[in-house]
Amino acid sequence: MQTNQVIKNIQVSGIRRFDEAISDVPDIIKLTVGEPDLPTPAHVKKAGIEAIRDDFSHYSPLMGFQELQQAASTYFHQKYALNYAPSEILATVGATEAVATALLTILNPGDGVLLPTPSYTSYEPVVEMAHGQVIPIDTTHSGYKLTPAILAAAINQHQADHLKAIILNYPANPTGVTYSQAELAALVTVIKQAGILVISDEIYSELTYEQPHTALATLYPERTITINGLSKSHAMTGWRMGFIMAPQALINEMKKTHQYLVTSTSSISQVAAIEALTNGFDDGPQMRAIYQQRRDYLVSRLSEIGINYLYPAGAFYVFAQVPADFHGTSWQFATELAHAAHVAVIPGSAFGATGEGWFRISYAASQTALRDSMNNLALWRAETMSK
Ligand SMILES: Cc1ncc(COP(=O)(O)O)c(C=O)c1O
């Protein structure tokens, strides 16, 4: 049967494919999927339980409950000085649906979307599903960050490609890098000249260790589509709660896409989200302190073992380099690491061609898992290097 050609050409993400491929390895310590091991805060769970008892078993309004839109508006204003009216906030099925709804709404066939790489795995397939074209921007020679000069060059080079938008993600998955306010302001100068939209995926905004997070929409409110959610900040991946925040005219268009994809996100999760946003202002910072300790531990062990890495300023990943004495791809390296040392990480190639030669370690894992995995890695390196 002839099914859709675009879907035929895309694959389940390398993160999930690799994770599944090594799941049968006995005693495997998984530092793969980017999901908090910490529990959802107790007060949020309680709100979810009460929502079930109170029969929140019906559809919500398409945009989400008004009380949720109001709570999100206040929360994101207090956290990041964002100025979205409640009506400019759409509740989505995680940031995943937010990315899809945003791209499916703004793109016409053939439109170009700039994407700094290596990048999170969902952007490219969704651009393709929307019949747009991804224009990758290699950041490997600029510390895995976009610079105004590199961005201006890419925009110049692709004048003829119907440039519609750029996707930014910071703190970034998989590299853990983030941008300062001054760096963002310099990028915005170039973006403004080009007049393109920005899809700013700030799902890791609570997890910055060196400097406070600057929301892009504080610098470029007129054309920024902000994506955020509760998966990482409140350890709520399974609740599937995300948000798109954008100027009213754009949100009104996205509401239609959202309706025909999902109708609305779970009513129960929305009630829990109202609690998280209203009374969980400090939940994120408490978790951040735990991740920061783990990050510091992990990078000091990697340094000891002699593995190079990018210094992670945010999110909960370390992007590390496949050792030079390993002759093979990042996929082969991660496979061997899984089988020989029982440590599972994600091959860098899962994040695009520019991720080759690297691997991603998630430290959203217990201190015991981190300690054991680093001990195993150290032993394995010592054994392989002495051969
Ligand atoms: C950069 C980025 N965006 C979006 C998502 C999806 O988040 P959600 O669980 O809210 O769908 C992830 C999850 O890992 C991510 O890393």
What does the pLDDT read at residue 386? 66
Ligand 1 neighbourhood includes 173 CB (under 6 angstroms) = yes
Indicate which residue's Cα is closest to atom 4 of ligand 1: 95
What does the pLDDT read at residue 161? 85
Rg of the chain over all Cα atoms, to the nearest angstrom: 21
What does the pLDDT read at residue 387? 64
User: In which residue ranges of the chain is pLDDT below 70?
Assistant: 386-387
**Cβ proximity of 51 and 381 under 8 Å:** no
Ligand 1 neighbourhood includes 13 CB (under 6 angstroms) = no
**CB proximity list for 15: less than 8 A, separation 6 or greater:** 32, 33, 34, 121, 346, 350
Q: Give CATH 3.40.640.10 domain extents, the chain.
A: 57-279
What does the pLDDT read at residue 14? 86
In Å, what is the CA distance from 197 to each residue of 98, 130, 190, 339, 365?
Answer: 15, 16, 12, 44, 35
Q: Does the domain formed by 5-39+283-380 have CATH 3.30.360.10? A: no
Return the structure tokens found at 51.
Answer: 């929502």
Task: Tell me the C-alpha distance between 108 and 130, whole Å.
Answer: 7
Indicate which residue's Cα is closest to atom 14 of ligand 1: 34
- Nearest-5° angle of CA 264, CA 269, CA 274? 105
What does the pLDDT read at residue 214? 98
Ligand 1 atom at minimum distance from 34 CA = 14
Residue 23 identity (one-letter amino acid): S
What does the pLDDT read at residue 159? 85
Ligand 1 neighbourhood includes 207 CB (under 6 angstroms) = no
Domain 57-279 architecture: 3-Layer(aba) Sandwich (3.40)
Q: Which of 369, 286, 361 is nearest to 316 (CA)?
A: 361
**CB proximity list for 370: less than 8 A, separation 6 or greater:** 31, 294, 297, 298, 301, 363
pLDDT tens, 225-282? 999 999 999 999 999 999 999 999 999 999 999 999 999 999 999 999 999 999 999 9
In Å, what is the CA distance from 321 to each residue of 5, 33, 47, 176, 345?
Answer: 35, 18, 43, 14, 12
Task: Tell me the C-alpha distance between 15 and 31, whole Å.
Answer: 11
What does the pLDDT read at residue 384? 83
Ligand 1 atom at minimum distance from 98 CA = 11
**Cβ proximity of 121 and 349 under 8 Å:** no
Q: Give CATH 3.90.1150.10 domain extents, the chain.
A: 5-39+283-380
Q: Which of 169, 168, 171, 175 is nearest to 210 (CA)?
A: 171
What does the pLDDT read at residue 383? 86
